[in-house]
Structure 1
């Protein structure tokens, strides 16, 4: 997390939409030493087994170019690569044990940092006015959303981001369960992003998640005269240590805020947004009504 010229905390985490200033691979951070060590170990085990890169590639079903790129730490080894190489090279689990770190490094740092914050939250509240919140998105919806980004993502990059987004949804399974509240603008539910079938499945998923005891989903009707969220989407997270952080986002910028005064303002706005929205039970009934209108 960096600091802007006003002394406020900033970050470039991925947004719940598909935008961002850059999506370059960025595992070269706290995971860098572990990844480079893993790649060196693959090379050492291969040489110790007396195999060429081509021979190892043939044995595990990967190209010479991929084996070479992995050993030079130019590409992250897939978990399947590590499992097969471990077996062929007789590493007795030493290479396979690296799968967890490598898999986490595969996600953009923006996503990893956001997931860590969500894992620390005892309460998370979010208002979204453009798309369905990332924690609530189905795989099909997320893929369609990332597919709309301009300039477009490459195929591998798109799949990486979809996988990372779905991985964040482990927050719903945490125990003890955090309180998760969401307010969705009505227009985000009516937009057939990805087509009618994707929209139908997304609404069905909202109904499923909204019935969980630790989740509250509310809808902000378009016809509502009072609206405290016209300044844009926001999120407030209350953490285990008693502190709170907030987030707001616009195109290409997603800013996390730790200044207590600014967090307090967004907490106040979010509380008012929830008061102005439909109640959770009214919202589920509204979503069911929308679902029935889809043909």
Structure 2
């Protein structure tokens, strides 16, 4: 899975920092692909990955797994170049251990719960919304970084549809949609996207109303996940970093707060009704 930021904030990059070896491997893949006369769209089904994943690997933003290397070798002439280059791949030090662990757990979790008060979570973003966040990030990103991070974020969203037995719960503050990040057209597309996702059986989406006299989530965003072994972990993200939570006592506090917020937010039906009214007003 693509290791993008779990919260979706444009200010905290949890995609592996590109190392020279990752960039070099990606450049070799791209050169061989182009030499073979294949576009990314042509190449993607040959290796069994999406076009966005191929882009992330070619730009040095994603560590290719063994399956990609083997299938890319077969598709690009069995020269042995990619197998040899893959032996020397490494990420630049700097990706925090707590996030690497969260990303692995997220990919196999039986349930994921997210409360967000800053922006629409990465799993729910449209391409236009995500790109808006990266374009407005400070310090500014280069064009290549914006493209790579947008592609990585879209790749991560495969979790929602490829893991239909994973239960997803989202609580979003109403003001996130009233802000109209990116303009009315981006917001209109985002609302359509949220309404579509809310129709999936494994996704529950609730809106925390703008006017609320009591609120259990004033401590900030939170994420909770349950593993197949019924173990719970949490993740809390701030401006410049995040905290992986495994202490059962801390998990209990987060669970208590999330449960209270579910009761304070609009019901599933009322949340969808509000999203439809907001969409109609644009």
Task: Give the TM-score normalised by the residue count of structure 2.
Answer: 0.73
Name the structure 2 match of 1:69.
none
Residues 13 and 113 in structure 1, CA contact (< 8 A), matched pair in contact too: no
Name the structure 2 match of 1:204.
192
Indicate yes or no: 2:232 matched with 1:240: no
Deviates more, 1:92-101 or 1:216-225: 92-101
In the alignment, the residues of structure 2 paired with residue 273 and residue 213 of structure 1 have an alpha-carbon distance, to the nearest angstrom, of 21
Larger Cα-atom Rg: 1
Name the structure 1 match of 2:249.
261
Name the structure 1 match of 2:266.
278
In the alignment, the residues of structure 1 paired with residue 146 and residue 190 of structure 2 have an alpha-carbon distance, to the nearest angstrom, of 19
**1:116 positional shift:** 2.3
Residues 38 and 98 in structure 1, CA contact (< 8 A), matched pair in contact too: no
Find the residue that maps to 1:165 and give its secondary structure: helix
Task: Give the TM-score normalised by the residue count of structure 1.
Answer: 0.70
Residues 237 and 244 in structure 1, CA contact (< 8 A), matched pair in contact too: yes
Residues 17 and 91 in structure 2, CA contact (< 8 A), matched pair in contact too: no
Name the structure 1 match of 2:211.
223
In the alignment, the residues of structure 2 paired with residue 125 and residue 180 of structure 1 have an alpha-carbon distance, to the nearest angstrom, of 6
Name the structure 2 match of 1:163.
151
Gaps of at least 5 residues in structure 2 are: 38-58
In the alignment, the residues of structure 2 paired with residue 117 and residue 187 of structure 1 have an alpha-carbon distance, to the nearest angstrom, of 30
Residues 124 and 179 in structure 1, CA contact (< 8 A), matched pair in contact too: yes
In the alignment, the residues of structure 2 paired with residue 145 and residue 37 of structure 1 have an alpha-carbon distance, to the nearest angstrom, of 28
Indicate yes or no: 2:249 matched with 1:291: no
Residues 14 and 20 in structure 1, CA contact (< 8 A), matched pair in contact too: no
Indicate yes or no: 2:196 matched with 1:194: no
Gaps of at least 5 residues in structure 1 are: 1-11, 43-52, 62-74
In the alignment, the residues of structure 2 paired with residue 204 and residue 104 of structure 1 have an alpha-carbon distance, to the nearest angstrom, of 39
Find the residue that maps to 1:181 and give its secondary structure: strand
Residues 16 and 61 in structure 2, CA contact (< 8 A), matched pair in contact too: no
Name the structure 2 match of 1:45.
none
In the alignment, the residues of structure 2 paired with residue 172 and residue 252 of structure 1 have an alpha-carbon distance, to the nearest angstrom, of 26
**1:59 positional shift:** 5.4
In the alignment, the residues of structure 2 paired with residue 57 and residue 219 of structure 1 have an alpha-carbon distance, to the nearest angstrom, of 45
Name the structure 2 match of 1:20.
12
Residues 15 and 149 in structure 2, CA contact (< 8 A), matched pair in contact too: no
Residue 166 and residue 98 in structure 1: after superposition, are their counterparts in 2 closer, same or farther (change >3 A)? farther
Compute the RMSD of aligned alpha carbons. 4.1
